[in-house]
Homo-oligomer: A and B are copies of this chain.
Amino acid sequence: MVFANVGTLGAVTGKRDELVARLTRRSSVLSEVGCIAYEVGTNDAEPDTVFVVELWKDAAAHEASLALPEVAEAIAEARPLLSGAFGGFHFEVAGSPLRD
């Protein structure tokens, strides 16, 4: 079942765009391990927050990705840009009106 992971990442004030740049750096490994979508963005109403929507082929693929050296490295590099405020949720996709 497709797994959706949705999150809000607090950025250190003034570091939001640097965090966006870090998270959107091109990576071929994510799709190789089952990432279907990984959308990163902002909302100027919340200037110190980065928003992420991820879709994975299943929860196991998402879980396994966290152990990848590339992902661990990206998280380590992003850590100084993070304020520590996190939010979001995850769910198993049941379906879509866009497909049968």
Contact = CB atoms under 8 A, between A and B. Distances in A.
Q: Is the interface of A mostly helix, strand, loop or mixed?
A: strand
A94 B39 CA distance: 8
A41 B91 contact: yes
A23 interface: yes
A21 B85 CA distance: 34
Contact of A97 (B30, B42, B43): B30
Quickly give the copy total for this chain: 2
B94 A43 contact: no
B95 A42 contact: no
Interface residues of A, number: 36
B98 A40 contact: no
B53 A53 contact: yes
B39 A2 contact: yes
Interface of A: 2, 4, 6, 8, 20, 23-27, 30-31, 35, 37-43, 46, 51, 53, 55, 89-100
22 contacts: A2-B39, A2-B41, A4-B39, A4-B53, A6-B6, A6-B53, A25-B97, A26-B97, A27-B97, A27-B98, A30-B97, A37-B55, A37-B96, A37-B98, A38-B98, A40-B94, A40-B96, A40-B97, A41-B94, A41-B95, A46-B89, A51-B91
